[in-house]
Amino acid sequence: GAGVSQTPSNKVTEKGKYVELRCDPISGHTALYWYRQSLGQGPEFLIYFQGTGAADDSGLPNDRFFAVRPEGSVSTLKIQRTERGDSAVYLCASSLNPSGGYNEQFFGPGTRLTVL
Amino acid sequence: DAKTTQPPSMDCAEGRAANLPCNHSTISGNEYVYWYRQIHSQGPQYIIHGLKNNETNEMASLIITEDRKSSTLILPHATLRDTAVYYCIVGRAGNNRKLIWGLGTSLAVNP
């Protein structure tokens, strides 16, 4: 079946601009995660959705970052007033239901964001 | 900060077993050990996880020491496609969103 998809695959923007990154999770997966990965580093947790609600947004670096998942499926990560330091690969992952036992996270290919 | 320590890089000959170590000396009793890998320019891929007992699946084996302070991921017959960064992560079941990713081990499988 289809895996997690992310669009666009690459995004180049100018400092100060607004960007939206989209994630389509695996159908039926209730949990959705956003991560950010800088070059040579492991993924850094940003936010986790269970259904439509953000169950944990403790990883968002500041209030310029916001994410939504209005219908419990597709999610959009929004970054306002982008800064050069926001340049990274933004990864999305989904899992069936993380409560209780462990559910593996399925990752998308990521969106490479470059802020000039 | 990451709660695991891994060597930054390793080499392995194609067809041989790759043994990737991980130190997690501060692991708590209710924390699992998870392994993911990331092939260049792709998203991470789940490999295996375990709590106390050794685990095996179609991809790899996970050997956890009795004191649980370290573990080894074993790829029994490494292929060129196993070249990737391997991440060892500890975290509580049911709370896997809080997995803290370190720098991982960059494994190069050589022909």
Verify whether the Cβ–Cβ distance B97 to A42 is below 8 Å.
no
- Window 19-38 of B, Cβ < 8 Å to A: 32, 34
Where does the pLDDT of residue A32 fall: very low under 50, low under 70, confident under 90, or very high at 90 and above? very high
Question: Token pair of B13, please?
Answer: 């000959």
Q: What single-letter DSSP state applies at residue A96?
A: S
**B34, B87, B98 member nearest A45 (Cβ):** B98
Angstrom distance (rounded) from CA A110 to CA B43: 6
pLDDT at res. A2? 84
| Rg (chain B; Cα; Å) | 13
Verify whether the Cβ–Cβ distance B97 to A45 is below 8 Å.
yes
**Whether the Cβ atoms of residue B8 and residue B27 lie closer than 8 Å to each other:** no
Q: Which residues of chain B have pLDDT under 50?
A: 1-2
What are the pLDDT digits (tens) for A42-83?
Answer: 999 999 998 999 888 999 999 999 999 999 999 999 999 999
**Whether the Cβ atoms of residue B7 and residue B87 lie closer than 8 Å to each other:** no
Interface probe for A, chosen from B42, B96, B98, B106 (most Cβ of A below 10 Å), is: B96
pLDDT at res. A103? 74
**Whether the Cβ atoms of residue A77 and residue A59 lie closer than 8 Å to each other:** no
Biggest distance spanned by C-alpha atoms of chain B: 40
Angstrom distance (rounded) from CA A41 to CA B6: 13
Reduced to 3 states (helix: H, G, I; strand: E, B; else coil), residue B98 is: helix
User: Which residues of B fall within a CB distance of 8 Å from A31?
Assistant: 97
Q: Are strands A31-37 and A53-56 parallel, antiparallel or unpaired?
A: unpaired
pLDDT at res. B31? 87
Verify whether the Cβ–Cβ distance A42 to B87 is below 8 Å.
yes
pLDDT at res. B1? 45
Q: Which residues does residue B63 pair with via DSSP β-bridges, in sequence order?
A: B72
Angstrom distance (rounded) from CA B76 to CA B31: 26
Verify whether the Cβ–Cβ distance B103 to A93 is below 8 Å.
no
Q: Is the preceding omega at residue A8 within 30 degrees of 0, hence cis?
A: yes
